[in-house]
Amino acid sequence: MSEPLPEKAAETSAERPWPLRLLSMKITDYVDRMSPVWVEGQLVQLNRRPGARSCFVTLRDPDVDMSMTVTVPVVVLDRMPISEGSRVVVHAKATYWSKRGTLQLEARDMRPVGEGELLVRLEHLKRVLAAEGLFAVERKRAVPFLPRRVGLICGRASAAMRDVHENARRRWPAVAFETREVPVQGSDAVAAVTEALRELDAHHEVDVIVITRGGGSFEDLLPFSNEALVRAVAAATTPVVSAIGHEVDTPLLDFVADLRASTPTDAAKHIVPDVEVERAGILRSVERARSGLESRIAGERRHLEVLRSRPVLVDPHATLAPHRSVIEQQRERSRRALRSRLERARAHVEALRAQLRALSPQGTLDRGYAIVLHADGRIVTDRTEVDVDEILRVKVARGDFGVRPVTKRKART
């Protein structure tokens, strides 16, 4: 007798696995217990077969790349005007086709989503985003005067791309673009535009990003009111310019963008300056600078003429004359005072010279005195120091001569 199979998926193991048919049956039971649900999406594929009582349609999420097959009774499709691309809500029951292992929906009712209902939803989303501050003026960044590179998100080979390129280059021929051509309508638009936005926002040379497409129906422009795209624009660090449709079109992207352009052509006017206008402005500035400089020079010249016409500059020596007279007087007084002081000093020196002359040995000699010296130059101060026949030198006022004593000196007692 074989061992019974596990009751629950958690009880399975490599030794006790479920057969694939059992798993399929359990998935079918689980799906069958689900209640019918209302689902919103976009019809991207509609297959009608002649004589069939039901047809297959592909329902795709309008925001992400996700779809599911739906079987719809022909009578349901015939009672409403829908076509591929229409936004619908479907009341359906999920079913699991065990033979193929696929999940699909069996539609019981289908209704088109009207423009009025979409407007109500968009208005509600607009109020929510505004309450969060995503539309606040103070968070908007200024578009650079002359960007190094312009990021452009647009449809493939679209007229909007040509308008932006041509008009921007007409204004500023050297403008450089980093272009991303992506789907701008349909279910792929939101994901493609958001991814392109992230790429350009990360580009180190892109200073401004333009998101643009031409005009279209209300439903064609819905991707640019998508909440995920709006929040991605709000999170971007690079200024974003919105140029969607015509002037009357106002998707939510216009409110969150840093700058709203009414058309792609208008966007080109905002992202780069007009070279002719800037050249004319530079020429006007140069002319104003030249005129101002000439005026300043003329004013300074007149000021110099006024200064030169003053008496002090007409005859500069006239100002110095009184000071020269005072200086001459001071010099003369100084000269007289110095002369007088020198005379007094000279007289004093003469007096000292006469006094020194009178007190000097020469003065004594001039008065008739003489100095007697031994041969070795010693002065004779005592007669006992003189020997007979010793030759003595006698110095008088004008010369000297030798003498010899004639008497012997007496010895001291």
Give the pLDDT band of residue 334 (cuts 50, 70, 90). Answer: very high
Q: Which of 113, 142, 162 is the last residue of a domain?
A: 113
Same domain for 323 and 385, yes or no, is no
Instruction: Name the strands in the sheet holding 371-373, side by side, starting at the edge strand that comes first in the sequence.
Output: 371-373, 392-396, 399-403
Task: Give the Cα separation of 182 and 151 in Å (integer).
Answer: 13
Same domain for 173 and 266, yes or no, is yes
Least confident of 138-152, 243-257, 278-292, 386-400: 386-400
Give the type of residue at 351.
A
CATH code: domain of residue 92: 2.40.50.140
- Residues in CB range of 214: below 8 A, 6 or more apart: 155, 158, 159, 160, 245, 264
Task: Give the Cα separation of 409 and 413 in Å (integer).
Answer: 12
Task: Give the Cα separation of 236 and 34 in Å (integer).
Answer: 41
Q: Are 68 and 103 in contact (CB under 8 A)?
A: yes
The whole-number pLDDT of residue 413 equals 47
Specify if 342 maps to a domain.
no
Specify if 13 maps to a domain.
no
With the C-alpha atoms ordered 58, 63, 66, 68, is the resulting torsion angle positive or negative? negative
∠ CA(91), CA(59), CA(157), 5° rounding? Answer: 145
Task: Pull the structure tokens for residue 187.
Answer: 């279910």
Instruction: Match 């079109």 to its residue by tokens.
Output: 249
Task: Give the Cα separation of 228 and 69 in Å (integer).
Answer: 25
Task: Pull the structure tokens for residue 411.
Answer: 């010895």
Q: Are 403 and 392 in contact (CB under 8 A)?
A: yes
Residue 338 has pLDDT above 90, yes or no: yes
The whole-number pLDDT of residue 1 equals 47
Which residues face 322 on adjacent strands? Answer: none
Same domain for 154 and 238, yes or no, is yes
Q: Which of 113, 136, 158 is the last residue of a domain?
A: 113
CB atoms within 10 A of CB 256: 26
CB atoms within 10 A of CB 367: 9
Is the pTM higher than 0.85?
Answer: no
Same domain for 134 and 181, yes or no, is yes
Task: Give the Cα separation of 68 and 57 in Å (integer).
Answer: 9
Same domain for 58 and 201, yes or no, is no
Give the pLDDT band of residue 2 (cuts 50, 70, 90). Answer: low
Same domain for 81 and 130, yes or no, is no
SS3 call for 270: helix
Task: Pull the structure tokens for residue 335.
Answer: 């000269």
Instruction: Match 């991814």 to its residue by tokens.
Output: 195
Phi, psi values for residue 135, rounded to 5°: -100, 5
Mean pLDDT, residues 166-188 taken together: 90
pLDDT digits (tens, 9 = 90+) for 257-278: 999 998 899 999 999 999 999 9
Q: Which of 88, 113, 138 is the last residue of a domain?
A: 113
Residue 76 has pLDDT above 60, yes or no: yes
Domain containing residue 71: 34-113
pLDDT digits (tens, 9 = 90+) for 30-68: 888 888 898 888 887 787 778 788 888 888 887 777 888
Mean pLDDT, residues 316-339 taken together: 86
Give the type of residue at 374.
H
CATH code: domain of residue 174: 3.40.50.261
Residue 99 has pLDDT above 90, yes or no: no
Bridging pattern class, strands 87-97 and 102-112: antiparallel
